[in-house]
Amino acid sequence: MPFPAAPAWLGIILSAVSVAAPSLSPLPVVTQPRIYVLDCGTLIYNRPEDYGLTREEVATTNMAVTCYLVVHPKGILLFDTGLSDRLVGRPVWENVLEGYGQVKFNTLRGQLADIGVTPDKITYLALSHSDWDHVDNANDYAGSTWLTQKPEREVMFGPQTTAADRLYYQALEHAKTVIFEGDHDVFGDGSVVLKFTPGHTKGHQSLYVKLAKTGGVVLSGDLYHYPEERTLHRMPKEEEAAGTAASRASMEEFLRKTHSELWIGHSIAFFKDALKSPAWYE
């Protein structure tokens, strides 16, 4: 049966609806740096022994996966891209990698859109390192300028990695890139600095951000995983001779000198209590 002709008022309502279609909430202009803490998934894991700890010594064996957006008056930096957005809605048993079950409830892209940030608005992308739980959505942000330690980039695109390893970050190979080895002052005013902390990987880096109200914070990357590694002075066996001990010692000195807090992104305790996006730290 043909539809009756639409009454004239329907057109008025439809056009009103299209005008009122939801738009991204615009990100306000900032006068000082902010950090947004983003939920980039959870790792279901039960072998704290791999990190030099017993099950009795850790509050939980699982790990949060945290990404961060730093908004500075001169630009926007995304630090780590976490577990793949494609995991959302999938059961954990489908996605077990190296003994870690991957769970995700929110896409990174969606959380950024909620605060008015589309990938084209992100000036810089930096990865703490290239392990899969930190880089899975990196291709989505390859239009930004990639800030990378030289040794990490060499591993990412060297013979040590396979095409499968590169799948989620391969677009970075031809991204606009700033390559360095050592600390890197992102906006040139000392408020956002990538700190070279090799050991977990050859080009591992943490991120220092000086916030006006919160004070200095360092986003650890995988300098630590479980918070008990820091309190009980433990580390994975294979990292003992790889530089982690020296990087941790110099980081502790830096934290003392700058009166900064260390935020351990894999810590469930940290993530549970953190102010999460769309709220922010400043």
* Binding positions for Zn ion, rule: CB under 5 A: 133, 222
Q: Among 230, 240, 145, which Cα is nearest to 194's?
A: 145
Report the residue number, 63 or 209, with the smaller CB distance to Zn ion: 63
For Zn ion, the closer CB: 222 or 239: 222
Q: Which is nearer to Zn ion, 222 or 228 (CB)?
A: 222
- Between CA 268 and CA 48 the distance in angstroms is 14
Instruction: Please state the closest distance from residue 279 (CB atom) to Zn ion, in A.
Output: 24
Q: Which is nearer to Zn ion, 114 or 131 (CB)?
A: 131
**Is residue 183 within 8 Å of 198, Cβ to Cβ?**
no
Structure tokens at 6: 């639409």
Nearest-approach distance from CB 222 to Zn ion, in angstroms: 4
Nearer residue to Zn ion within complex by CB, 81 or 277: 81
String of DSSP letters for 28-70: PP-SS-EEEEEEEEEEE---GGGGT--GGG-S-S-EEEEEEEE
Tell me how many degrees the CA angle 13-19-23 measures, rounded to the nearest 5. 135
Closer residue to Zn ion in complex, CB, 66/111: 66
Phi, psi dihedral angles at 216 (to 5 degrees): -75, 140
For the chain, how far is it from start to end, CA to CA, in angstroms?
61
Minimum distance, C-beta of residue 80 to Zn ion, in the bound complex (Å):
9
DSSP string, 149-196: EHHHHHHHTSTTS-HHHHTTTGGGGGS-EEEESS-EESSSSSSEEEEE
Is 72 or 134 the residue whose CB approaches Zn ion more closely?
134
CB 128 to Zn ion: min, Å:
8
Q: Given phi > 0 = left and psi -120 to 50 = alpha, else beta, which region is 246?
A: alpha
Encode burial over 118-127: b for 16+ CB neighbours within 10 A, e otherwise: ebeebbbbbb
Which residue reads 């820091």 in tokens?
230
Q: Which residue number, 149 or 191, has a Cβ lying nearer to Zn ion?
A: 149
In angstroms, give the least distance from the CB of 131 to Zn ion: 5
CB of 266 to Zn ion, least distance (A): 6
> In the bound complex, what is the minimum distance in angstroms from residue 229's beta carbon to Zn ion?
13
- For the bound state, the minimum distance from the C-beta of residue 259 to Zn ion, rounded and expressed in Å, comes to 27
